[in-house]
């Protein structure tokens, strides 16, 4: 395994981060099997685990907590989790307000069975909440010892910059990392998010390097589409009637041929691409089985040559995301007529 320092924190994290979204009812409901995957990853040198309060309604955090309680591995793991998405019917059980963050961090600590969280992330922007209010709550949590650092997830570049300056102006702790969507099929963050993170020395975790299954070979032309829970949660990413997804299918066919010529699996090509960008600290993998994990761990040793990278650039140009649904978050204003008209 290879390691890199997370932004300006001084904390070394593995280049592959174990994502826990598939542990629980969303993916693998077998707790013992999920714990086995976590332990296998740690034994292989992975020291970075990322989960969220909303993954399987808290079940993922509980599974990670059980795994870390076994074998005394908690101190070896850099543990990350997130808050923002609804955790109940109450309208205040969500978002980025001080009220919710201060309550939900305690819930996550309880589910994870730990006294501290290494990286606490705000899962999506919340235009209804002043960023200074969010930063104030997170700063207080750092000073209380409940979290060590905090970051964002799927924030646009201008919001990342705004948060840095608001923190400096108000003597707040600053965001230390951004978790962003990044794959060969979704390269939009190359335009602005990655340069901004490098400028402000933010660590970068990237999610969905396999494009939600598109870069595993599951979605190919002239093949029956597999069943996927994700197609119900984010249908825009999988609706084959959309021209954008047809463009993704075309790209996958070319990428599969490129991987074969390079002597790689499509999965290996996709993960090695995400790892190659110099602004990326760690790439999140989300295995559902031990077999999935084993096929992905070797990506850290793959070195893509310039010829392969140039061909990837031809298939999907730098800075281009083929389907906007893969960007993970869109500002609500363009979709709300009341916000763009007088």
Report, as residue numbers or ranges, the catalytic residues: 55
Classify 295 in phi/psi space as left (phi over 0), alpha (psi -120 to 50) or beta.
Answer: alpha
Q: Which residues of 124-157 are buried (b: 16+ CB within 10 A; e: fewer)?
A: bbbeebebeebbbbbbbbeeeebbbbbbbbbbbb
Is residue 204 a contact partner of residue 279, using CB atoms and an 8 Å limit? yes
Q: Cite the beta strand spans of the chain per DSSP E.
A: 3-5, 12-14, 16-19, 48-50, 78-83, 117-122, 147-153, 177-181, 203-207, 282-285
DSSP class of residue 10 equals -
Instruction: Round to whole Å and give the CA distance between 342 and 334.
Output: 14
Residue 269 tokens read as: 């090509």
Q: Is residue 118 within 8 Å of 78, Cβ to Cβ?
A: yes
Q: Give the helix ranges, DSSP H, for 89-208.
A: 98-112, 131-143, 157-169, 193-199
Rounded to whole angstroms, how far apart are CA atoms 155 and 158? 8
Q: Quick check: 48 and 80 in contact, CB under 8 A?
A: yes
H or E element that contains 293: helix 290-297
Report whether 323 contacts 247 (CB < 8 A).
Answer: yes
CA distances from 242 to 59, 236, 239 (A): 33, 8, 6
Q: What angle do CA 59, 205, 49 make, to 5 degrees?
A: 35
In 3-state terms, the chain is what percent helix, strand and coil (to 5)? 45, 15, 40
């Amino acid at each position: 395994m290879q390691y890199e320092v997370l932004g300006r924190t001084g904390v070394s994290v593995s280049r592959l981060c174990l994502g826990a979204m598939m542990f629980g009812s969303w993916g693998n409901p077998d707790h013992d099997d999920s714990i086995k995957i976590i332990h296998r990853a740690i034994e292989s040198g992975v020291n970075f685990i990322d989960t969220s309060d909303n993954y399987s309604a808290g079940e993922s955090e509980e599974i990670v907590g059980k795994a870390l309680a076994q074998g005394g591995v908690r101190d070896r793991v850099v543990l990350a989790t997130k808050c923002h998405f609804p955790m109940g019917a109450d309208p205040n059980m969500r978002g980025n307000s001080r009220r919710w963050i201060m309550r939900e961090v305690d819930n996550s600590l309880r589910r994870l069975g730990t006294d501290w969280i290494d990286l606490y992330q705000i899962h999506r922007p919340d235009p209804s909440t002043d960023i200074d209010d969010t930063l104030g709550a997170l700063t207080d949590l750092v000073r209380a010892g409940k979290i060590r650092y905090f970051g964002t997830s799927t924030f646009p570049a201008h919001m990342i910059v705004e948060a840095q300056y608001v923190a400096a102006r108000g003597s707040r702790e600053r965001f230390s990392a951004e978790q962003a969507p990044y794959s060969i099929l979704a390269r939009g963050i190359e335009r602005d998010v990655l340069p901004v993170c490098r400028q402000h020395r933010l660590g970068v975790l990237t999610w969905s390097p396999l494009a939600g299954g598109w870069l595993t070979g599951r979605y190919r032309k002239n093949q029956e589409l597999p069943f996927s829970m994700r197609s119900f949660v984010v249908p825009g990413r999988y609706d084959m009637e959309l021209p954008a997804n047809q463009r993704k299918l075309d790209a996958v066919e070319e990428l599969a041929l490129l991987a074969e010529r390079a002597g790689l699996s499509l999965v290996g090509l996709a993960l090695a691409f995400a790892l190659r960008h110099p602004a990326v600290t760690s790439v999140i993998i989300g295995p559902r089985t031990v077999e999935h994990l084993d096929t992905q761990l070797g990506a850290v040793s793959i070195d893509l040559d310039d010829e392969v990278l140039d061909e990837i650039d031809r298939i999907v140009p730098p800075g281009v995301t083929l389907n906007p649904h893969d960007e993970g978050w869109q500002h609500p204003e363009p979709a709300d007529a009341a916000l763009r008209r007088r």
